[in-house]
Chain A
Amino acid sequence: MQGAFSADDRRTVDQPYYLPSGNEIEVFEAAHRQRLPLMLKGPTGCGKTRLVEHMAARLGLPLITIACHEDITAADLVGRYLLHGGETVWVDGPLTRAVRRGAICYLDEVVEARADTTVVIHPLADHRRELHLERLNETLRAPDNFMLVLSYNPGYQSVLKDLKQSTRQRMVGIELGYPAAEREVRIVVRESGIDEARAVELVKLAHAIRKLDASMLPDVCSTRTLVSTARLLCEGLSPRAAATAAMLLPLCDDAEVMRGLREVVNTYLPE
């Protein structure tokens, strides 16, 4: 049995599925070889996390993901002393662990973190590639395999919270959007197991809804919500019920907007 797979096949079998829209895989690989940090821009649910998971498997590297939020502190990233039975014990944070292990460290939604938190990544992001552990008075040099990947959603609120220019300039950028219709159909089919005809209808609906501008609908439906809708369909829900549950309700609360969206769904999907 073992001989049935070449090494490459085995790898693709284990890899999380990712269908590229452009040259993002090549850029990612090149950045990794050149030890450059990477910045993924794109709306929610367009496949940023999936790309990173795919690349980690493809490059054979461990992946450590940190979901950023406003209250995350530098100590949450780097590590801290904890009290342990009267002793103080140092515990590495995820960023430190990633550096020590030579992993991909993925900071998801990095603009959510405050600037005084993200300063700790600056020396990791430039040519020094080092992490300073103030409390231990120790400086770690990142091994060649270590790679920093940040993601953020450029459509998001506050300009104040935007990444600092000096942080940005150290990065290689990849811009992701929602995939073109034909690709998105393939993704939905593959991720949910739904038949192609129904996937096509869902994708058409999503493409229509994405045409609504921000004054009507602050958020749009993502590839992720499309996949969820398709999964509900596989469970036997009717197309309209599935789309309402997985695509519309997460989008907004405004009753009038919901009525309008229902009308869109009813036009595109059978009962």
Chain B
Amino acid sequence: MASVSIEPHPLRMLAAAVAGSPVAVSYLTEPGARCWTDGERIYLSAERQAGEGGRELLVQCALLAGGALKAVGLRALIGSIEQRQCFLVLEVERCCASIAERLPRAFLNALEPYRTGQGPQDAEESLRIARSRTRLPKPPEWYGTLQPWAVLRRNVRGGGRSMDARKLEQLEARLGSLEAEQADGDEDALVRNPFWKLLSSPLGKDGFFARFMREIFDMQSSPDKAADSGIEGSSEMVSGRASRHALDLGKALRSGLAVAIPSALLVPEGGAHSYPEWDGSKGRYRPDWTSVEEVAPAADEPCFDETLLDAATDQPLLRSLASLCLGFRRHAGQTAGDDLVLDRLIRLAVDLRTGHSGDERIYSASLRTRRDLGVLILLDASSSTLEGGGNDRVVDRQVRAAWKLCRTFDRLGDRVALYGFHSWGRTLVRFQHLKAFDERLGAETRKRMGRLSVAGYTRSGAAIRHATELLDAHSGTPFKLLLLISDGYPYDDQYEGEYADQDTRKALEEARARGVACLCLSVGSDADVVRLERAWGSANYLAIGNATEMAARLRGAVERAIGAAARKRYVAAA
């Protein structure tokens, strides 16, 4: 496969500005590849240089902004190149018009020759027009292409049992063969394909999802359950573990698309962050092994009861953390001290002369009141935290603790950031941005909390390294604290057992060497002391039953962690 050397284009900002929300960009190095989007990520040809590639990117961003790929019934476009092109022409026109006020004029002019004169109101209407075989202009190459398959794959949801890699592979192979047929333009062959039939048949007991479930999960034993469970939008989603696995499956399918299959084709945008990973058995780092990207949380439904976030201020915790003082600061207006404050002295002199009693607090003193603390709270949002029942799962306790801590530190005037993380393999570690250091804690933060998606796995090493980087770059405070809230089970694709534990401990060590204090909190996890020590080392964790216990035990642990990091840094500097 040909690979092209790539200039790292910093196009994520451009993409986010035009699309109106953060978008991930990947580059296709295959020669002649056309760009496309799966509704979430944009795949951009690496051949064109940034300036020239601008048009392509703007088109895809507009499609995202206008929700073109959210059209209900997109499935109908599979199998007809012509209809796909009509849909594309219509949607580019509609979506670009909807954000015309932030598109460059030269670009809008370039769209002119492809006007359809149809004026659809939404994507569904475009779909209808496209299927009605109306004659429309053919889209130019820079409109890219439409890949309804990829969009569908991205949206797969359902219930089922555990998935295994072989099954996934089978599915990918089938999808692949279908796509090959489709590429040949042989519609008949496509329609004869049993998998296509399965996909295009209506919903129901023998509909796509039911069959899909059986195909993928071997659910023949209970076909009814399968039929009930898989239909999108059905309220009868299989509860608990099963739907969780399904969610993971959906993500795995997507990550498979983005990573496993065409990884040779794809290069992450420069804005994704690469970090090494520690291979304990070989005693060395694997350079640039993991890739972390920041995304906006996007769960359609909250995965915990949002009233969890309503709790009143935890006064004991507030008081306990308030007395966490770290450095000295000069205070004017003291009745005693080591320096006179000239201003105040003069004011006192004037007051006395004019017959007032005056303020005698004319000294300044150095007192240990300074905090200058930046805290990054890193919340494990992997599906293992969904263990437990009802409204008292590990994830509920963790979210409660994280939110409480975020609010308390913020109240105390500390700089706080909050991120949720999870992963699907080494190239897809995701940071869900809940609150950055420079953002104000408010309704927006709360809204983002509600959209936190809890799924996938825990590649804690990469997450800790990225958090360290963020603290270093953005906290802007002399004291830095990383609070990792996790159940203590690092686990991901090729990230298990001793390997995962060693990498996690290594990442914590690296952070400390950079002067970042680390404290790992387990809140109501069933992990025992031995487990926690394995993952986090002996001195760096605090295991508590639930968030209310924090008031009693957190401050001491934070002080110890900060002390340890300060010593580390001192040693490193010496």
Contact = CB atoms under 8 A, between A and B. Distances in A.
A46 interface: no
A214 B105 CA distance: 26
Contact of B18 (A181, A211, A216, A266): A211
Interface in A212-269: 212-218, 254, 256-257, 259-264, 266-269
Given A81-B350, A88-B353, A260-B271, A212 B16 contact: yes
A216 B438 contact: no
Contacts of A216: 12-13, 16, 22
Interface in B67-117: 101-105
A267 B9 CA distance: 13
Nearest to B431: A215
Contact of B10 (A204, A218, A263): A263
A243 to B, nearest CB: 13
A221 to B, nearest CB: 11
Contacts of B294: 215
User: A interface, how many residues as a size bin?
Assistant: 35 or more
B370 to A, nearest CB: 16
Contact of A159 (B16, B271, B440): B440
B441 interface: yes
Interface in A125-140: 135
B5 interface: no
Nearest to A255: B10
A197 B109 CA distance: 14
Contacts of A205: 104
A134 to B, nearest CB: 9
Given A157-B440, A213-B22, A215-B439, A260 B101 contact: no
A176 interface: no
User: B interface, how many residues as a size bin?
Assistant: 35 or more
B410 interface: yes
Nearest to B343: A73
Contacts of A82: 350
Given A81-B350, A88-B354, A181-B101, A263 B13 contact: yes
A156 interface: yes
Interface string A74-85: 000000111100
A259 B438 CA distance: 20
Contacts of B51: 266-267
A155 interface: yes
27 contacts: A81-B350, A82-B350, A83-B346, A83-B349, A83-B350, A88-B350, A159-B411, A160-B411, A204-B104, A204-B105, A207-B102, A208-B17, A214-B436, A215-B22, A215-B296, A215-B433, A218-B436, A218-B438, A254-B473, A256-B270, A260-B271, A262-B10, A263-B9, A263-B13, A267-B54, A267-B58, A269-B104
Interface of A: 80-83, 88, 135, 155-160, 181, 197, 200-201, 204-205, 207-209, 211-218, 254, 256-257, 259-264, 266-269
